Amino acid sequence: MNLKRLQAFRAVIESGSVTVAAQRLRTTQPAVSRLISDLEKELGLPLFLRQRQRLVPTVEGMTFFREAERALAAVDRIIDVARDIRMMEGAHLRVVAGMVAAFGIMPAATKTLLSLHPKVHVSLEIKDVRDIADWVATGPFDVGITRMPLDDARIECEPLVTSQCVLIVPANHRLARKRVVPLTDLAGERMIQTSQGNIHRELVAGAFASAGIEYEGAVDTPTGISACQFVAEGLGLAIMDRYAYRAVQGLGIVARPTRPALEFSLGFFFPANRPRSNLVKAFAQATRSAVAGMQ
């Protein structure tokens, strides 16, 4: 049965006028009249009496309308569901991220996403970088954000941003007066280090070795944010990502570029062989926009 004919029939019944029905359906009066006539022929029932250029429902027409109304209500619901999917109303995005992305990027990315799609719900889980691949591949998550590289056949990687690490020092420290700090100037300084096995610790330790200086640690900590907090307490200096610094700046610490520059990369991670929804694509675009605004 033709859906447009049923919709025209309902519009005429509810409005009592072919003219109003045509306006509601955004079509012409002749088109509505033709749809009604075609429906009557299809059903073999007289749905209306033609009285002085008006359509008056017959008894059969009203009986059919009560049944057709239920079907049309279901169709309306399907159309509403399709619209909600298209507009992402009520959609739920599940993100898993490492500490860097969770604290340094996700707030701004989520703000950008919700400004465009205010009815979306976002859930964030923070996991160890070494576990992100498992969570993305086997967990209930739509997307992950963490440091690259991350080589796992179960996930697909898409670069997000490559940025330079910064030296975090107390604002009254001698090195705070420099615009760029050579790594050799860190000889003899106590450093706040990330935990053993952390990819960032390996990056910094390698740079110190290349500069011919000892990488002497005062404190080990699993996150860049806590490292910055230890620096604020005067317990040492730290080389961390700028997003960790951005999350806690204002604690009497400053960030300075190093020479040579130490780079790190963040990326999106998606379950392999799973189509990306419009919501996931919108989140990726919102995140890129938010990160661009931080540069």
Q: 35-58 pLDDT, tens per residue?
A: 989 988 998 989 888 877 778 889
Pairing of strands 155-170, 238-241: antiparallel
pLDDT band, residue 81 (cuts 50/70/90): low
Whole-angstrom CA distances from 20 to 54, 64, 259 are 12, 21, 74
Give the residue among 72, 12, 6 at the shortest CA–CA distance from 42.
6
Q: Are 135 and 205 part of one and the same domain?
A: no
pLDDT band, residue 157 (cuts 50/70/90): very high
Structural domain including 141 reads 92-160+266-294
What distance in Å separates the CA atoms of residue 114 and residue 169, rounded to the nearest whole number? 35
pLDDT of residue 80: 58
What percent of the chain stands above pLDDT 70?
Answer: 95
Residues 6+ away with beta carbon under 8 Å from 157: 148, 149, 150, 267, 268, 269
Question: How many helices and strands, by DSSP H and E, does the chain display?
Answer: 11, 12
Count of domains forming the chain: 3
What distance in Å separates the CA atoms of residue 276 and residue 127, rounded to the nearest whole number? 22
At 216-241, the pLDDT tens digits run 888 999 888 899 999 999 999 999 98
Average pLDDT, the chain: 88
Higher pLDDT, 35 or 77: 35
**Furthest C-alpha separation in the chain:** 101
pLDDT of residue 282: 92
Q: Looking at 56, 87, 118, which one is the last position of a domain?
A: 87
Residue for token pair 């299809």: 42
Q: Are 283 and 220 part of one and the same domain?
A: no
Q: Are 117 and 253 part of one and the same domain?
A: no
Q: What is the mean pLDDT of residues 123-145?
A: 87
Tell me the whole-structure pTM to 2 decimals: 0.68
Q: What is the mean pLDDT of residues 208-215?
A: 95
pLDDT of residue 183: 96
Q: Are 127 and 243 part of one and the same domain?
A: no
Q: Are 234 and 210 part of one and the same domain?
A: yes
What percent of the chain stands above pLDDT 90?
Answer: 45
Q: What is the mean pLDDT of residues 237-247?
A: 89
Higher pLDDT, 195 or 237: 237
Q: What is the mean pLDDT of residues 107-122?
A: 92
pLDDT of residue 207: 95
Q: Are 30 and 54 part of one and the same domain?
A: yes
Contact of 280 with 136, CB cutoff 8 Å:
no
Q: Are 272 and 143 part of one and the same domain?
A: yes
Q: What is the mean pLDDT of residues 126-133?
A: 84
